[in-house]
Structure 1
Amino acid sequence: MKLAYRCPSCKATNYYTPVIATRGDLHMKIGDSFNANCTSCNSIEKVHINKITAVQDKRLIVIGAIIGLASAIILWSIFGAIGTVAVGIPILFMSVESSATNTFNKYMIRRR
């Protein structure tokens, strides 16, 4: 999971680096808003915490696919057809990643 926000000036997508599991924990750490430094236009703008959204990290899904494929090949050679169960590993990675992003995006902080 990666945390992304759009720059208010140029509308470019930027990423917030310390990834925290829930918006409530992020709110306790940084408060209602934070100063965002855009990597495209180099402007510093105040961004409310509700403007941060979680997006799925495709690298983790690719890693899960590689692990699933490698373990399926190894288990296929040892156990036969039962080794195809290892193909479910990428599906497990995708479901965990999807659950984490949905949990973060559902919860919003009340604006004052």
Structure 2
Amino acid sequence: MRLYFYCSSCQEENSFKTKAKDRFDLQKERGNFINERCRNCGTVVKRRINRVHAKPNKWLLIIGGLGGTFIALMLIFFLPLFITVFIIPAVFGIPFIAWRAEDKKASAFNKVMVSDG
């Protein structure tokens, strides 16, 4: 999952990857603060865990859609039409199902806050 924070100097949005599923896991992994360098101005940014937010990965939908289009074209040429009519919606539906799961993960991460104590 990719997590985002804003730089206090230039207000640029920065990101970093983590395997943490929620803020509790992120707190165990990194502590109460995130220390990252801004990619725009180079300032070291110190942010609380609660100031970090998650966004779903849009590349998953783009790559899955392109892959689905390629598979659908291959199926149209190599399978009979009556079978292709049933398979193509499933091929295009798989990337949207994967993106929805990613969106739910990001939403679950953003809903939970940790105490600063």
| TM norm structure 2 | 0.83
Which residue number corresponds to residue 82 of structure 1? 86
Aligned-residue sequence identity (percent) comes to 29
C-alpha displacement of 1:105: 0.9
Which residue number corresponds to residue 71 of structure 1? 71
Q: Mind listing any 5+ residue stretches in structure 1 that lack a counterpart?
A: none
Q: Secondary structure at the match of 2:69?
A: helix
1:38 matched to 2:43? The reply is: no
Alignment of 1:50-69 (within 5 A): 50-69=50-69
- Distance in 2 separating the partners of 1:108 and 1:52: 10
1:106 to 88, 103, 111: 111
Which residue number corresponds to residue 6 of structure 1? 6
Does the 8 Å CA contact 2:22/2:108 hold for their aligned counterparts? yes
- Distance in 1 separating the partners of 2:71 and 2:64: 10
Instruction: Report which of the two structures shows the higher radius of gyration computed on alpha carbons.
Output: 2
Q: Secondary structure at the match of 2:47?
A: strand
Alignment of 1:9-20 (within 5 A): 9-20=9-20
Q: Mind listing any 5+ residue stretches in structure 2 that lack a counterpart?
A: none
Q: Secondary structure at the match of 1:8?
A: coil
Number of corresponding residues: 112
